[in-house]
């Protein structure tokens, strides 16, 4: 997890609002998932909660 976090570009995360983060979470949990260049690539994280915990 630590290595994955270090490799991520967190500058894009700071530009996301709370509503946008909810959209990303919802898209990640849907079957097939949503692909967009405007959101963080969450592949590699077993669960979305792990990403939130790692960033707080």
Instruction: Reply yes or no on whether the pLDDT at 55 is more than 50.
Output: yes
- pLDDT of 31 reads 44
pTM value is 0.15
Q: Count other C-beta atoms under 10 Å from residue 8's C-beta.
A: 16
CB atoms near residue 42 (< 10 Å): 16
Per residue in 2-51, pLDDT (tens digit) is: 555 555 555 555 555 555 555 555 544 444 445 544 555 556 555 666 66
- Rounded to whole angstroms, the Cα distance separating 38 from 11 reads 12
The pLDDT score that the predictor gives to residue 30 is: 45
The whole-number pLDDT of residue 3 equals 54
């Amino acid at each position: 997890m630590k290595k994955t976090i270090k490799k991520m570009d967190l500058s894009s995360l700071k530009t996301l609002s709370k509503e946008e983060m909810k959209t990303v979470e919802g898209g990640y949990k849907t079957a097939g998932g949503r692909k967009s260049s405007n959101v963080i690539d969450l592949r590699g994280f077993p669960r979305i909660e792990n990403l939130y915990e790692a960033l707080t």
